[in-house]
């Protein structure tokens, strides 16, 4: 519980000291204070800079000792040589949670770096304070508009908790403002995956946890706590640094020992952690698990305006070892009544010929989707359609979001092609009801992994 | 040569008859004439509709027989039952190239469909005319602003030739207006992959050929002509319908026999065709091969503002069986002078620590890229960077495009993350000098396949 209390100071600070914050602001200044103000953080901020009296209208202090109030979190952003002394000052001022932004500690190849690392390790070991980093963006929490990142980031109040060893996840990706809450471990000299997981285990605002792991000191503790969480929340993991060369690069990136590939695979499996194969899958699954319900059945229904993409969806199922099965008699009968006489409808339902022989043209598409969503034998539905233009895209987004809201027991994903696909997929992301993908293979992969985890949760 | 002449009529028609074009225009009307006018097609257009005298200001005719001029291409877009008679009329009017849009022939499950297919087959067999389709969008050619597609499509004058069995490739994807030139074979009752390949073999506007194959009647002819083309132009192939269920769906999609997976793999390899694993890879490689030069060396240099993504790039190389090797002494020496004393630079070059200790901040990034691009031991360079905001994204696009233009012997790809990544990748696509990807794994996969083909071309 002690660790959990400290983690709350890191993740939900009510007051923060910014040590070494610069008087320079604006583009290219990477000013943490400026970022915090722009997010609208409501906690107390104490900039520490002995050379000026205020920055951006906020009163500055010459040192943390000068601040007469409790400080939950200190963020140290100075050249590396100053860091040990500042950490000591924080500990002396009873600050228990410290983020060290600077690089050049265990990630450095010189002796000074190793020596500096040792000095801060000693303070942490003595129990005077807990340290996040060095070489880190720190933490982010969209729910309180807080981040210690010196790069200004986009956050979104979404139930995705990230523990990573690179600031990339704070900066995010086009498809997803990744961070609901984030912890960049950097070199992970003290705070590591275990403490992060313990925080997210107990955090009601987090529904899925995504991990980016280069390496760690204590895999046993990680396995134990993961095993405790995965029956309650899905945990996704991208393990990088799988080759000797990557391990070497990782040594100079975060000073991590990366470990053997097979050992990691076995450990993830044992703990119920969902291991992904690459960055794209991590993004896809974080989006999927944060939005969709678990699957009550393994069967997937597919309806598509493109027969050709429907076939790719079947190919993907075959490769993933899941099935697009025969539809239940009731659903089959319903679809048969909608089809032209020459067409035998099956799953995937090729809806385009039905649309071409119907007025209004959209009716078979909507009715077909309704039929699949109402089928109790199906756990999930994939819709494949096109955003021919902006209006079509927005229309699809509204239609699918409404259908998903009316069928909350079903996981609805879609594959969108056409010139407005990206925009439409983003709109769906914002609407938080359906998950969109640009290809049928990625949509099916997401459902396959959702199904795997759903089976794990149901004890099968 | 006869086939080639006919294919030019399909692909570069100077006059086109639109049989069965509707008087209805505007949204949802799927009017081919309206689309053609909007593209700015400069050829002669003869709409055939006996019920009206003009559509959208274009004089209509009651039948093709009534048209007193030569017609290169006829597009038949009527209900299926009328098709055989109309095909006969075209043949009688000496029209040698006919697109049949209607569905419900060999793709239908009823007897009437099979019978209709037989009737048009007989006309084709008698040598009176060549038929593309049925069940097709027809052809598209961005270079003359022409397409017979009833869905209005976006085209781009780019050296990508597509032969497909679904209109999806005409509609395109967000990352790419796919069509430079396109042939949708539909049911492929007559014109098939061989004729399409022969056209692209001889087409100076096409640099790479992308195939979407469900199945074909004459794989031997396909293999022969592919083998002839691949030493001159890269041919990419996505073979779908790999499972029994997919084969069944394909039967009702385009009436194709899909064939055995292993047989296809062997045939592609033998012919030097680059087989892709899914739709995303087909899109990625079409973009890559249409823009980048072949690789003169297999070694890849990487420079990254994210150490974490650099490690993912190494992992990808390991999985793909290619190497990120040690840099040449000259390049290494140059980079060493730029780095802080505590950092040992290697390939991938983690450039962020260099930027953080430099003014102006962008100098190490530019100098580092220059150093790699100038290194004669490298065949390609991967840059990993972020589009933190719109300005950064546009700046990166300009910088990379300029560098690529100055080093035309090197293939330059990049991985862009951050909230403006998609937009930046699109800008790069439009600039046609660099190829952008959202993840390091996809960027590396593209380079690995480019390298494979480069080795094939150099005879290694």
- Chain B closest-CA separation from residue A110 CA (Å): 5
Closest CB from A171, A342, A422 relative to B388: A171
The answer to whether residues B23 and B110 touch, using CB atoms and an 8 Å cutoff, is no
Condensed to tens digits (0 to 9), the pLDDT of residues B411-449 reads 999 999 999 999 999 999 999 999 999 999 999 999 999
Residues in chain B with CB shorter than 8 Å from the CB of A441 are: 278-280
Give the number of other Cβ atoms within 10 Å of residue B263's Cβ. Answer: 10
B246/A318 touch (CB, cutoff 8 Å), yes or no: yes
Contacting residues of A for B177, CB less than 8 Å apart: 419
The total of other beta-carbon atoms located within 10 Å of residue B325's CB is 16
The span from the CA of A371 to the CA of B47, in Å, is 40
Report angle CA B177, B183, B187 to the nearest 5 degrees: 125
Could you tell me how far CA B265 lies from the centroid of its own chain?
20
Residue A256, pLDDT score: 63
B246/A112 CB distance under 8 A: no
Look at the domain A294-457 and name its fold: Rossmann fold (3.40.50)
Listed in order, strand segments (DSSP E) in B394-453 are 411-417, 435-437
Classify strands B73-76 and B15-19 as parallel, antiparallel or unpaired. parallel
Say if the Cβ atoms of A174 and B243 lie within 8 Å. Answer: no
Q: What is the ipTM of this complex?
A: 0.94
In this complex, how many residue pairs, one in chain A and one in chain B, have their CB atoms less than 8 Å apart?
Answer: 226
Contact A240 B346 (CB under 8 A): no
What's the number of CA atoms in the CB half-sphere (13 Å) around residue A395? 11
Region(s) of chain A under CATH 3.40.50.261: 2-288, 294-457
**Record: contact A243-B318, CB cut-off 8 A:** yes
Contact A311 B388 (CB under 8 A): no
User: B6 Cβ partners below 8 Å, 6+ apart?
Assistant: B96, B97, B130, B195
CA distance A275 to A268: 7
Per-residue pLDDT of chain A (460 residues; tens, 9 = 90+): 588 999 999 999 999 999 999 999 998 789 999 999 999 999 999 999 999 999 999 999 999 999 999 999 999 999 999 999 999 999 999 999 999 999 999 888 889 999 999 999 998 888 889 999 999 999 999 999 999 999 999 899 999 999 999 999 999 987 676 789 999 999 999 999 999 999 999 999 999 999 999 998 888 999 999 999 999 999 999 999 987 777 777 777 777 666 788 889 999 999 999 999 999 999 999 999 999 999 999 999 999 999 999 999 999 999 998 888 889 999 999 999 988 888 889 999 999 888 888 888 889 999 999 999 999 999 999 999 999 989 999 999 999 999 999 999 999 999 999 999 999 999 999 999 999 999 999 999 999 999 999 999 998 6
The torsion angles phi and psi of B65, rounded to 5 degrees, stand at -60, -30
Chain A positions in Cβ-Cβ contact with residue B318 (cut-off 8 Å): 242-243, 245-246
Q: pLDDT tens, B154-198? A: 899 999 999 999 999 999 987 666 789 999 999 999 999 999 999
Report CB contact under 8 Å: B104, A168: no
> Considering CB atoms only, which of B342, B361, B419 is closest to A174?
B419
CATH top-level class of A2-288: alpha beta
Pick B2-289's CATH classification: 3.40.50.261, 3.40.47.10, 1.10.10.10, 3.20.130.10: 3.40.50.261
Q: What share of chain B is helix, strand, coil (3-state, %, to 5)?
A: 45, 15, 40
Residues of B in contact with A111 (CB under 8 A): none
Among chain B residues, CA nearest to A386: B171
Domain span(s) for CATH 3.40.50.261 in chain B: 2-289, 294-457
Assigned token pair, B403: 């560098």
Give the span between the Cα atoms of B147 and B132, in whole angstroms.
13
Of B154, B278, B420, the CB nearest to A439: B278
pTM value is 0.95
């Amino acid at each position: 519980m002690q660790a959990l209390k400290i983690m709350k100071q890191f993740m939900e600070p009510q007051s923060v000291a910014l040590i070494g914050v610069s008087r320079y602001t604006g583009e290219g200044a990477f000013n943490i204070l400026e970022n915090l103000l722009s997010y609208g953080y409501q906690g107390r901020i104490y900039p520490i800079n002995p050379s000026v009296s205020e920055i951006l209208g906020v009163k500055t202090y010459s040192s943390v000792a000068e601040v007469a109030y409790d400080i939950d979190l200190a963020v140290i952003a100075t050249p590396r040589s100053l860091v040990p002394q500042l950490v000591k000052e924080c500990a002396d001022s009873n600050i228990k949670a410290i983020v060290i932004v600077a690089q050049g500690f265990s990630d450095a190849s010189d002796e000074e770096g190793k020596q500096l690392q040792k000095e801060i390790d000693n303070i942490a070991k003595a129990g005077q304070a807990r340290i996040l980093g060095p070489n880190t963006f720190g933490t982010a929490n969209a729910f309180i508009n807080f981040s210690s990142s010196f790069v200004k980031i986009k956050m979104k109040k979404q139930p995705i908790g990230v523990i990573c060893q690179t600031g990339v996840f704070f900066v995010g990706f086009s498809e997803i403002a990744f961070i609901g809450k984030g912890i960049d471990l950097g070199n992970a000299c003290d705070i590591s995956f275990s403490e992060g997981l313990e925080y997210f285990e107990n955090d009601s605002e987090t529904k899925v946890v995504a991990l980016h792991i280069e390496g760690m000191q204590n895999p046993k503790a990680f396995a134990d706590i993961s095993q405790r969480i995965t029956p309650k929340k899905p945990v996704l993991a991208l393990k990088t640094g799988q080759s000797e060369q990557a391990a070497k690069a990782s040594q100079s990136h975060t000073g991590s020992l990366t470990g053997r590939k097979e050992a990691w695979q076995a450990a993830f499996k044992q703990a119920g952690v969902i291991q992904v194969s690459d960055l794209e899958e991590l993004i896809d699954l974080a989006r999927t698990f944060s939005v969709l319900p678990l699957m009550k059945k393994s069967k997937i229904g597919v309806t598509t305006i493109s027969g050709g993409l429907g076939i790719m969806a079947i190919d993907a199922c075959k490769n993933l070892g899941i099935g697009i099965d025969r539809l239940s008699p009731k659903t089959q009968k319903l679809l048969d009544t909608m089809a032209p006489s020459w067409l035998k409808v099956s799953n995937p339902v090729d809806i385009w010929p039905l649309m071409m022989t119907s007025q209004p043209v959209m009716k078979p598409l909507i009715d077909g989707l309704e039929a699949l969503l109402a089928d109790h034998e199906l756990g999930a539905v994939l819709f494949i359609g096109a955003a021919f233009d902006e209006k079509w895209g927005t229309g699809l987004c509204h239609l699918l979001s409404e259908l998903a809201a009316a069928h909350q027991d079903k996981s609805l994903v879609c594959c969108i092609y056409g010139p407005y696909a990206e925009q439409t997929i983003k709109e769906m992301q914002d609407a938080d009801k359906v998950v969109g993908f640009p290809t049928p293979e990625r949509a099916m992969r997401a459902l396959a992994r959702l199904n795997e985890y759903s089976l794990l949760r149901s004890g099968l």
